[in-house]
Every structure is written in structure tokens, then in C-alpha cells.
Structure 1
Amino acid sequence: MSETRKGDEATEVLSAELLLRPGRAGNAFEETVQRLLQSIRLGLIEPGGRLPAERELATMQGVSRDTVRDAIAALTEAGYLTSRRGRYGGTFVMDELPDDEALNGTDSPEIGRVTISAAEIEDTLTLRSILEVGAAREAAQCKLSGADRERLWQALGDCRDAAPADYRRHDSRLHLLIAELVGAPSLLPLVAESRMRVNELLNGIPLLAVNIAHSDEQHERIVKAILRGHPEEAAQAMAEHVAGSEALLRGFLA
């Protein structure tokens, strides 16, 4: 795998354009903020990364530049974005993103924290299983280009090489890529929303070294099954991977 990844490093694992696509009419500002946040928090635009220009963002999302400008201003105020002037200026994602307390408008961990019920946890985990197991099965049935195969290897390697603080971001990118490879335009936003919900749960439990190693092994089985074109093997490997996360979440959060 390492030999493959030493090739063309210009191949991007994921593009922010995957989520920065036109939304439904009626709530342009809110949906623009949502899609920008998803792209940032799921790692499609990495910390320190530059956002597309306002005109380009407006075209991607099918909204006015004023709406994009208002959304950027709101996320700047919330601590997600910063603007830089000069030749290499623009709007950039902050190197350090706000924590959960900042999202609730308070520095106190006891005020404004959202309590997730057991029913909500089960709903989140069930939806994830349906979406991601199905996505792995479908991706394994797709005829992948050489570039797509390289992106899968790269995403897998990025997970293995990630520092603990960056692991969940790269984990999300791998799972989103698998959904993207299916080629169904409606699937990726659903998986992205599901991953946001799952990550909120994962942020409430410890990141265990043994679990990371186990996840890396499962990720490799999933990727290899997809690349070999074995849909049931890919689905089974993903199901086992998802079940492992579910067991930890139920154990810590029950």
C-alpha cells in the first residue's frame, strides 16, 4: 500500500464540493451555514485550509453572494473561520476549532450541554448501520477508476498515519469517500449528516489506542473488499466495523 501512496500526491481524497452543493429553497442562509459547517467539521476543508472564493461558493450552493457572505461572517464570529488580507488572503478554517462548550455559547461544561437520550443514540446507530453497510456493498459493485482506487488507498493510509487528535477526522473522510464512490447524489449528504451525529457521540467517549488499531484493521478489510469487487465481503467488514463502534458507544454512554 505504501508504494501506491507514494505516487501522485495531487490526488485529493475528498473535495469540499461534495457537500457544498445546492440545497433546498426557503432557508438559504441556514442551509449555507449547515453545509459549510459539515464540510469543516467532517474534514473536507481541513484546519488551516482555504475556502473557495465567495463567487464560487455561491455558484456551488445556488445562493447569492450576500448569503454566502452572511454565512461566512456568522461562522467567523463563531470561531470557525478567519479572514486574511493580501496576495494570499481569503477565508480560512481556524487551526483550532471551537469545542462543544463554545458551540453552546458558554465556557461552562455544565451549562447548555445537550443530553442525548438512549432512544436518540439507538436511532443514530441504526441509521449509520443502514447507510454505511449499504454504501460499502454498493461501492464494491462499482467500476472504479485508477484515480478512485488511489484515493481509497490514500484515505486508508491517512487513517493509519493520523495522530490521535486527527484520527476521527480522517476516519470520517474515509467513510465519506466510500459513500461518494457509489455515485448516488442523494447518498453523500445523508452519510455526512449521519457521521455528524455519530461523531458527536464519539466525542463523548475516550479515544482508545487498541480500538484505533482494531479500526485500522477493519478499514483495510473494507477497502480491500471494495477494490476486489466483493460486495458481500465489503458489507460484512463494514457491519463488523460499525458494530465495534456501537459496542463502545453503548458501553460508555448507556
Structure 2
Amino acid sequence: MTDAPLDDLRRAVYRPVRSGNALEDTTARIVQTVRLGLVAPGESLPAERELAALYGVSRDTVREALKELSDAGWLETRRGRYGGTFVVDPVPRPSTPAVVSAAELSDVIALRGVLEPGAAWAAAARSLSAEERDVLWARHEAAALAEGEDYRRLDTLLHLTIAEFAGIPSLVPLVADNRARVNAWLDTFPLLPRNIEHSTSQHAAVVSAILAGRPDAAHAAMRDHLAGSEALLRGFLA
């Protein structure tokens, strides 16, 4: 399976940060790539020079952000021929439940309910290439076979791939930002095996509708899938 679509997703996340809070925004963006699973536990981040170019900041800013996250236990530096900055394995998890206001929770859930069903509809309305079709199904299968903490990373990659295949470049960063906030909350409560089984069957419905070129069915299947996530988020966080 090609990594080209994943590279496209990485480019959507590794984008220039806002001016004024370069260090904070760079640090947050690196955390986002980890929460989204674009850099898995044990994998290396791009080199400092590349990160600086992607984020549009100085190498000093990148170096400070990496040090902050290393000190916080998210990253580790390895020396030698195969050295670099790596995501720790396992990634640190919050020890206390998230504190989320009802307004913030409703805002994030409502935005997700607009973005992701729309992405599924748009992806189904496109004529996907054979490569894109293979990648989409492979992402679904990978999530279906995932075990333990790896499930959320691969689940996220599937959702981001659907957004990528919608063919609307500006949509992917919006979905990525929204998903990163959702993942930060999901990390505070346990994986539920029956919920994962249900999600897997819903993923199959979404992906099958996209591959069959049925936009309305893909939209409806994604709405059903997100309703389950919403129930869990409200149950654990409200």
C-alpha cells in the first residue's frame, strides 16, 4: 500500500503556524500530529530543518518546542546513525478526566457533525482512482484489526483519509483540528471493546457507501457513526 495519501495528510497538518505565538503554536501542532496518529509511538518526527520550513518558524523555535515536549515525556532524542527525535512508546495519557464545558463540547461535536458527514458525501461523489479505493479499504481493514491503544490512531487515519479523498484541500486541516480535540478527550477514558466492534461495522458501512459512489448513504452512515461517539463523549465528559 502506498504512503502517498498519508503524506498528503501530513502536509495538511504540517502547515505554517500563526505569527505571534510561534513557540506555543509549534508545540501544539507537534502534539496534534501525535494525537492524530500521523507519527505513531516509536516513530521519528521530521528533522528540525524540515519542521522549521513546514511550520514557517525558525529552527530555534522548533528546537525549543521539541525540548519542551521531551521534558514533558512525549518525545525522546536518539543519537547515532539512526538517531532523531522520536515519539515515546507508549504516549503519555492523562491521569485525570478532562474538564470540558458543555458549550465547548457541544461546539466541537456540532462542527464534527457538519465536517465529517460532508466529507463522506463528497468522497462518495468523486470518481476515486484505483489506488485511492485500495488505500481507503486498507485503512478500514487496519482499524478493524487494530488492538489496544493502536485502535484510536488507525481509526483517526481512516477518518482523515476520507476527508482527504473528499477532494477539498482546505477541508483536511479543519477535520484534523477538530479530530485532535476529540482525541484529547477520548484519551481520558478507556477503550470499550463492544463500542469498537460497533464502530468497525459502521466504518464498513461508510467506506462501502463511498466505494459504491452513494453520497447520501455515505453521509447517513457517517452521521450514524458519529452519533455513537457523541453519546460516549457526553456520557464521560458532560
Q: TM-score, normalised by structure 1?
A: 0.85
Secondary structure (helix, strand or coil) at the match of 1:92 reads strand
Letter in 2 for 1:71: A
Aligned length: 236
Letter in 2 for 1:52: P
Structure 1: tracts of 5 or more residues without a match:
1-8, 102-108
Aligned partner of 1:190 among 174, 188, 194: 174
Aligned partner of 1:98 among 85, 92, 101: 92
2:23 aligned with 1:29, yes or no?
yes
Query: Any residues of structure 2 matched to 1:67-146 within 5 Å, and which?
Result: 67-101=61-95, 109=96, 114-146=98-130
Shift of 1:10: 4.2
2:11 aligned with 1:11, yes or no?
no
With CA pairs under 8 Å and 6+ residues apart, which has the higher RCO, 1 or 2? 2
Q: In structure 2, what is the equivalent of residue 248 of structure 1?
A: 232
Query: Any residues of structure 2 matched to 1:155-194 within 5 Å, and which?
Result: 155-194=139-178
2:134 aligned with 1:150, yes or no?
yes
Secondary structure (helix, strand or coil) at the match of 2:149 reads helix
Question: Against the structure 1 CA distance between its residues 179 and 13, is the aligned structure 2 distance closer, same or farther, given a 3 Å change threshold?
Answer: same
Secondary structure (helix, strand or coil) at the match of 2:76 reads strand
Deviation digits for residues 119-157 of structure 1, max 9, x if unmatched?
A: 322222111111111111111122322222222111101
1:48, 1:94 within 8 Å by CA — same for their partners in 2?
A: yes
Quote the RMSD (CA, aligned, Å): 1.9
C-alpha distance in 2, partners of 1:173/1:49? Answer: 15
Shift of 1:174: 0.8
Q: In structure 1, what is the equivalent of residue 205 of structure 2?
A: 221
Question: Against the structure 1 CA distance between its residues 22 and 185, is the aligned structure 2 distance closer, same or farther, given a 3 Å change threshold?
Answer: farther
2:2, 2:135 within 8 Å by CA — same for their partners in 1?
A: no
Deviates more, 1:182-191 or 1:131-140: 182-191
Letter in 1 for 2:210: I
1:11, 1:147 within 8 Å by CA — same for their partners in 2?
A: no
Secondary structure (helix, strand or coil) at the match of 2:138 reads helix
C-alpha distance in 2, partners of 1:36/1:223? Answer: 29
2:40, 2:87 within 8 Å by CA — same for their partners in 1?
A: yes
Q: TM-score, normalised by structure 2?
A: 0.91
Structure 2: tracts of 5 or more residues without a match:
none
Percent of aligned positions with the same letter in both sequences? 53
2:94, 2:187 within 8 Å by CA — same for their partners in 1?
A: no
